[in-house]
Chains A and B, each alone.
Chain A
Amino acid sequence: MPETKLGAAAGSPVHQAPRPLSPHLFIFRPYINMVMSIMHRITGAANYIGSLLLAAWLIAAAAGEPQFNAVSDALGSPLGLVVLFGFTWSVMHHMLGGVRHFIWDTGHGFEIPAVKVLSWGTLLGSLTLASLIWAIGLWQWSLH
């Protein structure tokens, strides 16, 4: 780490202990809005991966029945269903997080109580939406 010369008298050697640059993630007690901010980035990256699954499903459907059945069986396996539920929740979480950012973009919702409501709302809302979608989806599946 380079030594800083800030505040040193001209010509005098500077021997300083390394200064803390920026108290970062591991210093702060986690706040819900901070956790939701991190979650927004993680779910965004997860959706990138999830889009590959969605693309694979659509491309397989276009390719033909054998390819579609292979992908469909993989996604319909217990592991596949867990991953798909996670993807559903991740998309819902990222979407509600985006809505939260839109509210902030308009300059509203910066009071601490509002921030807490919006942050918890993102988490609880995404879990509710994902569960609702799957409840309806599994019911539809049972009709086939």
Chain B
Amino acid sequence: MDTPQESQHLRETAGYTFPILSDAKDEVIRRWDLVHPRGGVDGADIARPAEFLIDSSGKVLWVNLTEDLRVRARPEQVLQAFDAASVSNQRSE
């Protein structure tokens, strides 16, 4: 996994403006059951790929847990889930 410095380098070179967090001690991926044991370089425990959409109350609106490293959520899928969430948000207001 990447250190904050490596993530900052990635943000700058790729031009990403969203925050990239660093779970150096695997605390969150353990609590969320997203550990891929010895999946990283030199047998380090790293995260399995996972994508979540969480609404303002903290509830999970959408989740994608791939079974294939090559097949991750596409940006359009996440945006669609966002749109669906905005629509239901407006309805509830």
Q: Do A and B bind each other?
A: no
Residues in B lying within 8 Å of A, measured CB to CB: none
Residues in A lying within 8 Å of B, measured CB to CB: none
